[in-house]
A and B are shown apart, each in its own frame.
Chain A
Amino acid sequence: METRLSRRDLLRLLSAAGLGAAFSRHAVADEVGIAPVAATVPENKLIPTPDGPRYPAQWIGGKVIQPERPLTVVNETDVLVVGGGPAGFAAVVASARAGAKTTLVERYGYFGGQWTGGLVLLVISSHARENGQLVKVLRGIGDELLERLTRIDGAVVNQAPGKFNPTSDPEATKFMMDEMIREAGVKVFLHCWVADVVMDGPVIRGVVFESKAGRQAILAKIVVDATGDGDVFAAAGAEHERRLHAIGLVHRVGNADRADRTRLAEAGVKSLGSVEPLSSVKWVNLRGPSTDCLDVGELTRLEMEHRRAIWNRVQQLRKKPGGEELFLLQTAPQLGVRMSRLLTGTHQLTYAEAREGKKFADTIAVGGAQNGQHRGWPIPYGVMLPKKLDNLLAAGRCVCVDEKLIEDSRLIASCLTTGHAAGAAAALAIQTGCRPREVEIARLQKLLLSQGAYLG
């Protein structure tokens, strides 16, 4: 109670001191926010909360035991998409626009995943080359997002006819994803980490997630795993494989436009980093060592080692003649995880099939060429369907491809297009009352084309 009073007093003081003009709206909100939500919390094993009693883990016989407990279902929906990266974003927009009641759960406080939070920024493989002509394969919802960014000054570069592999500003991208998700009417849960699934035999019925509110559940008719790491299908027991890949950390350097590039070049610095929409900022990739992103010890170690390496690198740049005004603007909020789990789908798309440009009857997307120099590669629906489990689809970097194709399938453009397809397929399954694996391919392709997707 004392805390509450003192904070309220502080806000009053601030307002009185003239700073209130800027803070007044927040002050009102905070006043509401710090109101007590429950009476004194009693000391008890079953801790009551507004949502019901809490069941802490118990120390029993030298083991930590999680007691059996009912979970509160906070949402029931048609299509639940887990993960708000490029795949999840495209999936929810496609699903909601196709008329399905759609929910999105995201562990961070923003959308975009590696694109925005990992500061990857560069949408590689947006185009392919067919018979010598540059063809845009990233169409539909992902392309719509980039097109809308072109109307904002300084939000995207290389998104124009004849250009390929656009780079977008992370904040502009987050903002535009917010707008499109809001417009589509998607129910969103941010800051919620999916921890488990709700299974009914071989059929998924929903997910369990952790948040500040504790452990809660969402029920859904169809779940799309857009976690990138296959957290949902792994928890559901779907067949999958594990892969190690390099884990790095991207950073951005500020004041790039104020650096003396000639003197820096003389000092041996050829490049400050890759282009961004804002000329004052460059982004710098760090590939990092190949390791297991499911090992939290490794993530902790790399996060701190990479940050130190980045700090030292930028400090060295600042000591070089011409680089004095450079500074470390930001390290990425998310580690650059590239690959972990891969679904074992009903079709494994191989590198050989992709390079051959093999066509499929159930093509739902087309992947691009990394530098717009090779033909596109049709992606079949089977890469996102688990072998046995029902009402579950995978989208994004964890779809079923072979080892060599990972390098293409994990890219943002591919994630946007497979996400789009998964969302559309889920909505169509709801609409026609069938399981995702029974979706009529012709109708799915028609729906995707009506939503602007490219199928070759």
Chain B
Amino acid sequence: MILASPTKPYHGARRRWRAALRWFVLVSAVALAWPLRSDSVTSVLLPALSPFVGICSALATRAVGVISLFALPVIALAAVFPRWFCHYACPAGLLQELLERFHPAVAPVSSRVPPVGKWLVAVALGGACIGNPLFLWLDPLALFNGFLTSWRGPLVAMNLVAGLGLPLLLLFNVFFPRVWCQRLCPLGASQELLAWPRQRLRRAAGGSNAVTRELQGPLVARRMFLGGCAGVAGVLALNLARGGTPSPLRPPGALGETQFTGVCLRCGNCAQACPARIIHPDFGASGVAGFLSPVLRFDSDYCHEDCYRCGQVCPSGALERLPLERKSLHLIGMATVNLDTCLLVNGRECTACIRACPYAALSVQSADGGFLNEPVVDRAKCNGCGACEAVCPVRPERSIRVSPHGSQ
């Protein structure tokens, strides 16, 4: 057992140092994601530190972005000092320990719980190999960050969703103390796996008796292989269940639908950063795999042509960090007109959508000597920003709507 003495593992000066460091990290984390600041770019840092997020998203996206580099020092240290992040840094862990002081009577049950965390990591790695890491959203740093950023801006559904993770985790800890940290947390488990080679070598050098079952090579390999296979199977099953259903409208720069649902942490950063408040949590349009992932709704505003903030604050790379000019080229969807209800088609001179389009992708097409008029979409110019849908005056269903890819 790596976390051998959970109550008071350290003594004296070392303990005070550890406490000071942990509080420093907690305060820094809160400061970085401080909700009262208008700038939300720094809120990307905390989840990006997680090796679990960094490795899985790099594997799933087949790319190592700038953000994934933040995880490198944590990975390197974890290989040398097992679970160092849990001991010295994790703000979610510190909060849980603080809460435990109010419930000291509950007996720890962690030893009776199987190492679910390691299985989660194995499954996530397997899924990530084919693009969908499945459990990235369980990362405690993402949950912690989501809680902080949820206080930013007005109370929208996406904030609530992102903000609920940490309170639920803490509540779980009240009833099952330390179970999360020791047995479930994928961040903790991924550190253990990273530390495995060095530990195995040290124990082997100290005599084969010291090599516990947990550290035996074949067992770890088998566990990783089985978990990985389960991940692959799970992702394939999800894809099969989705079938040809068109993906919902995602923020600009989103990965392909399969990758996106897995790589997205549900941290809520994008929804918080969006000045138009068009990013909402999904409750079904993208199936089980996309539950609570961000989708776009153009009820009252659209994806502004001068904004690319969502991509800048995504900690996992689910949204690509596109510069403004490339973000404008990214296709969110495609505007489609319902000619039966369109006011212009029906002799009313509405040109609301045509005027609202920031890319001049809409124009009036006239036929029959001017009796027939309809808005036409220039598919080469439309990027699905939703400006047309946001201003369409027709209710209840608007006459011009942005349709997802592959649905037109």
Q: Is the CB of A273 within 8 A of B347?
A: yes
Q: How far is the CB of A411 from chain B (nearest CB, A)?
A: 8
For B366, B371, B373, which residue has the most chain A Cβ atoms within 10 angstroms? B371
Give the size range of B's interface with the partner. Answer: 20 to 34
Q: Cβ of B3 < 8 Å from any Cβ of A? A: no
Q: Compute how far the CA of A144 lies from the CA of B35 in the bound complex, rounded to whole angstroms.
A: 51
Per-residue CB contact flags for chain B residues 350-362 toward chain A (1 = under 8 Å, else 0) read: 1110011000000
Q: Compute how far the CA of A313 lies from the CA of B371 in the bound complex, rounded to whole angstroms.
A: 9
Q: Compute how far the CA of A288 lies from the CA of B347 in the bound complex, rounded to whole angstroms.
A: 12
Q: Cβ of A271 < 8 Å from any Cβ of B? A: yes
Q: Is the CB of B370 within 8 A of A287?
A: yes
Q: Is the CB of A309 within 8 A of B371?
A: yes
Q: Cβ of B334 < 8 Å from any Cβ of A? A: no
Per-residue CB contact flags for chain B residues 161-191 toward chain A (1 = under 8 Å, else 0) read: 0000000000000000000000000000000
Nearest residue, chain A, Cβ from B350: A370
Give the size range of A's interface with the partner. Answer: 20 to 34
Q: Cβ of A372 < 8 Å from any Cβ of B? A: yes
Q: Cβ of B369 < 8 Å from any Cβ of A? A: yes
Interface residue from A286, A372, A373 paired with B370 (Cβ < 8 Å) = A286
Q: Cβ of B394 < 8 Å from any Cβ of A? A: yes
**Known pairs A248-B370, A286-B371, A313-B371; A124 contacts B393 (CB<8 A):** no
For A287, A373, A374, A404, which residue has the most chain B Cβ atoms within 10 angstroms? A287
Q: Compute how far the CA of A289 lies from the CA of B355 in the bound complex, rounded to whole angstroms.
A: 18
Nearest residue, chain A, Cβ from B366: A287
Interface residue from B347, B355, B370, B395 paired with A404 (Cβ < 8 Å) = B355
Measured between beta carbons, the chain B residues less than 8 angstroms from A287 are: 349, 364, 366, 370-371, 373
Q: Is the CB of B393 within 8 A of A288?
A: no
**Known pairs A287-B366, A313-B371; A370 contacts B347 (CB<8 A):** no
Q: Cβ of A195 < 8 Å from any Cβ of B? A: no
Nearest residue, chain B, Cβ from A338: B349
Per-residue CB contact flags for chain B residues 386-407 toward chain A (1 = under 8 Å, else 0) read: 0000010111000000000000
Q: Compute how far the CA of A374 lies from the CA of B356 in the bound complex, rounded to whole angstroms.
A: 13
Measured between beta carbons, the chain A residues less than 8 angstroms from B346 are: 271, 274
For B343, B355, B356, which residue has the most chain A Cβ atoms within 10 angstroms? B355
Q: How far is the CB of A370 from chain B (nearest CB, A)?
A: 5
Q: Is the CB of B351 within 8 A of A407?
A: yes
Question: Given A286-B370, A355-B356, A371-B393, 14 other A-B contacts at CB below 8 A?
Answer: A124-B348, A271-B347, A273-B347, A285-B348, A285-B349, A287-B349, A287-B371, A288-B369, A309-B370, A370-B343, A372-B393, A373-B395, A374-B391, A374-B393
Binding site for A on B (CB under 8 A): 343, 346-352, 355-356, 364, 366, 369-371, 373, 391, 393-395
